A and B are shown apart, each in its own frame.
Chain A
């Protein structure tokens, strides 16, 4: 019947993304022998982890029908404040971690609170927060990067556990949490409901305001986390870091098939989306193609993804 065909179509469109990803890997592997080496794969995962962590938060936000443009700036603000407490011999590691995560969630909470209670377009609110957080990061550091970080802090970015880089482990943990949250929890269900139809969700007893506030807070928290991981990896935090990260995150979400109108999408798609971007950047690097072209190609892929998505 029609419905069978539709489910078939649904599966096809779902696997279409995986198929495209596999194709990309095959092409890269053929073009560059270095591509499939374990060190390179680990490298790709590590490069993807920052964007991946942010993109998980972005997925939740977009599922509610919103958008968060402030993630890159919030990442920078969290990173500079966290690292300022991470100089050698000053504080326990827990202090910069807690502060970084707190700053990120606080920014997200403010975003969510304003969006939920004032019914202002998320685009505008988070655009303002993007500038505010960036400004604060510059004020806090006087425009200079924070350097001289403790080894234990830097380990977060450069360390390994059983041969896997810590950033990748963090990324995987966040992914698993996100997958579980969306599929198995009441909160996850409420995210989909709020994004699918806020009015109907509210009538069905969903506290849609709380859902929105929580989702932006989580996006902020994950930006903070990404800020910590990134600063630890480069062993410094620049107030100018993270520019344009919101676009990479949105790109991963969109390539992953999540609808910008809300209510439809998945973490799994976002991960593939983030990996596609990661593999491409890496592959083009290996092929010695200039980073200028990388931007171009990324744009084309986003367009293709959106066009294909429309055809579903």
Chain B
């Protein structure tokens, strides 16, 4: 056994984040930590990395009790963390990033020995069979490549334990394969890995053991080989979740939105589709297939080179998001922190922002009471967990933040909502709730477009799925014809017979 944590407790103010949690990591094994947001996974990892100190509990490294007073402490004990959001220095090269802070210098001068930096980095990269040029600038790498560099950097610190926090949240399936290969190599080198992810399929694929946390408490540790999918979910959410996707049979009505021949150079080509009232239309495809770009063009964040847009049969022109909002189109962007929320502002101000006019006099003066009431109503209806509507959005958990972004469009008269990766990085309970909110939104003659990389999600909730490959539509599936394999093939660009309506 490499690491053992015992009776770890931590409270922030009055709220208990961890209650006497235990955890073990073994040499050459991948140990997954599962749990919903707020289960205490990141708190536990931050304690392990020395970023925060536990209120009580013990950490043993190779049987010896140890305390990490700082991240540097943990690092020198062989513990490295690959954070979900990477922080490279974009203007420096791969080699410089790997060896940052420990550059070999010419003796006595303190001048960096660039040759040696390059050489050391090259060796490290080669050891892991990574084909990344050490002279490339970080900013030119893909997220997946940056991750690889981070892993190499951890190795250069002689890491014996590497923590990976949601490493696949922003990389394509192909890149996930590559990452898994690297993980296997790390295992061969007897390095232990702690793997945090929300993607359950992935966990079963890569993990040896799974530890489940819930509400800051230790629930169980199981072998990934013997644990069943349903049992894992049950342990995570604390109750049976028979139906994550509450697909209801809602009658599809007439076309509300039609996109005709949308083209934007180097993004997407000749895209046409129709969206019907009460329909959920899914857009599948690999990363970089042009899905987000297409959605942003429909919403006016980008202007297509050519193509036209029809709302209820009438051509409309959308030049910016304000136009789109005026026509009743709302957009829930991919990254809620970067594009969805004003993090430093209260929940209420976020909820009312898109349709602030509804809470204002014609002179632009806000009716605070009305705004407060509506915000409270949204918080209640959507079950947003927040101490008050005056709480800053930053302090909410991911799922609740996403609900705030969503509620923004429910305060007004949005008729069409475009979701871009609506449930990325949020827990199963919140996911299920968001699907429910979508369904109830749909019922009033409204419509939804949803972009997702999670095929299960699309298959679970959509009425129809169109697939993009390299900016072109490569497949279209009605609900009755949904099949994972076919959609995947289309996403990879293989010929698929396209159903016409």
Contact = CB atoms under 8 A, between A and B. Distances in A.
B355 to A, nearest CB: 8
Q: Which of B353, B368, B395 has most chain A Cβ within 10 Å? A: B353
Contacts of B366: 184-186, 189
B354 A204 contact: yes
Contact of B349 (A2, A192, A207): A192
Interface stretch (A11-19, A160-168, A195-203): A195-203
Contacts of A185: 364-366
Contacts, number: 93
Interface SS of A by simple majority: helix
A258 to B, nearest CB: 12
Contacts of B34: none
B387 A1 contact: yes
Q: Which of B321, B352, B368 has most chain A Cβ within 10 Å? A: B321
Contacts of B325: 205
B357 interface: yes
Interface in B320-374: 320-322, 325, 331, 333, 338-345, 349, 352-357, 360, 364-366, 368
Contacts of B391: 3
B12 interface: yes
Interface in A181-217: 184-187, 189-190, 192-193, 196-197, 199-207
B15 interface: yes
Contacts of B455: none
Contact of A206 (B15, B331, B353): B353
Contact of A186 (B322, B360, B388): B360
Nearest to B408: A204
A264 B392 CA distance: 11
A203 B14 contact: no
Contacts of A201: 342, 353
Contact of A199 (B338, B349, B353, B387): B338
A263 interface: yes
B15 A1 contact: yes
B311 interface: no
Q: Which of A6, A196, A264 has most chain B Cβ within 10 Å? A: A196
Given A2-B15, A200-B341, A203-B340, A184 B368 contact: yes
Given A184-B368, A185-B365, A205-B325, A197 B357 contact: no
Interface of B: 12-15, 299, 301, 320-322, 325, 331, 333, 338-345, 349, 352-357, 360, 364-366, 368, 387-388, 391, 395, 408
24 contacts: A5-B13, A5-B14, A6-B395, A184-B365, A184-B366, A184-B368, A189-B349, A189-B352, A192-B345, A193-B342, A193-B345, A196-B344, A197-B338, A197-B339, A197-B344, A200-B340, A200-B342, A201-B342, A203-B299, A203-B331, A203-B339, A204-B353, A204-B408, A263-B342
7 smallest beta-carbon distances between A and B, as pairs? A3-B387, A196-B342, A2-B13, A2-B15, A5-B13, A186-B364, A263-B344
Interface of A: 1-6, 184-187, 189-190, 192-193, 196-197, 199-207, 259, 263-264
